[in-house]
Amino acid sequence: MTVSKALALAIGAVVCAGALGTGCAPGQPAAAPPSPSVASARPGPSAAPAPRPLPGLGPVTRARVPDEARQALVVTGPGEDTFRARAVLYERFPEEGWRAVAGPWPAHNGLRGWSEEHRAGDLRTPVGVFGLSDAGGRLPDPGTRMPYDEDPDFEVTGTGHLGEDLEGSFDYVVAIDYNRVPGTTPLDDTRPMGAELGGGVWLHVDHEGPTNACVSLREEHMRELLLALDPERSPVVVMGPAPVLAS
């Protein structure tokens, strides 16, 4: 073998050695390296999931929840004319979205159900999204961060619509900001929209029967709610029959 031929074979072997996995024979040119576009065509990190919305609410209802609200008590009835409901307390976290933190709790609402056009004396609970800004009751403050008015005027006597005893129903109360002045005791009877639209709609202790227009929860659940609500999180209540809230 001549020197020039040996040298050519050696150069070909070096070229093939640099082209791993090409399978070329000595003397054959190595395959070109992958172009930058091919080398970089790898799947990137998956996009983060969108924050969870409040469950059971449709776009119309969700749009009524204020952007600043980070706590929401969702009270849902099965139908327009029913007086039994369930309540779940949710909190909104920056990346995760809304998450249930308490409940579900059994609840009662107005004897005749719900109304999107509540009137005084109609025995229906108003449907909508309302602030929760003030609390009170006949019993001492259990430790809530909300303004709390302990007052003997929260006394109630008599019987409810099913003949049940009403005593103790206002031991703990959270005013629902429907036709009232936020920042005042729940006992304040000012009605900014007029007396004909009703008022005095509260969350209060359950008496095992339907209410006039309020939403009632068992005493232990009212205490839990009072301890959880935080004015700095702009709490709201979202309430109504499930088909309406889903719109």
> Number of helices (H) and strands (E), helices first, in the chain?
5, 11
Q: Coil, strand, or helix at residue 217?
A: strand
Check whether 10 has a pLDDT greater than 50: no
C-alpha 194/C-alpha 103 separation (Å) is 34
Residue 81: CB atoms within 10 Å: 13
17-26, 47-56, 219-228, range with the lowest pLDDT: 17-26
Chain mean pLDDT for the chain: 87
C-alpha 104/C-alpha 86 separation (Å) is 6
H/E segment holding residue 129: strand 128-137
Q: Coil, strand, or helix at residue 172?
A: coil
Give the model's pLDDT for residue 5: 43
Q: How far is CA 159 from CA 6, 83, 153, 164, 178, in A?
A: 113, 17, 18, 5, 25
For the segment 121-149, what is each residue's pLDDT rounded down to a tens digit? 999 999 999 999 999 999 999 999 999 99
Longest dimension (CA), the chain: 121
CB 15 within 8 A of CB 30: yes
Check whether 6 has a pLDDT greater than 50: no
Q: Coil, strand, or helix at residue 142?
A: coil
C-alpha 26/C-alpha 49 separation (Å) is 53
List 174's β-bridge partners, or say none.
Answer: 135, 203
Mean pLDDT over 201-213 rounds to 98
Backbone angles phi, psi at 197, to 5 degrees: -90, 10
CB 101 within 8 A of CB 121: no
For the segment 28-61, what is each residue's pLDDT rounded down to a tens digit? 444 444 444 444 445 555 666 788 999 999 999 9
CB 175 within 8 A of CB 210: no
Check whether 18 has a pLDDT greater than 90: no
CB 230 within 8 A of CB 132: no
Please state, for a pLDDT cut of 70, what percent of the chain lies above it.
81
Q: Which two tokens stand for residue 228?
A: 């959880």
Q: What 8-state DSSP symbol labels residue 222? A: H
Give the model's pLDDT for residue 48: 65
Give 234's contacts (C-beta < 8 A, 6+ positions apart): 66, 68, 69, 70, 71, 131
For the segment 66-119, what is each residue's pLDDT rounded down to a tens digit? 999 999 999 999 999 999 999 999 999 998 999 999 999 999 999 999 999 999
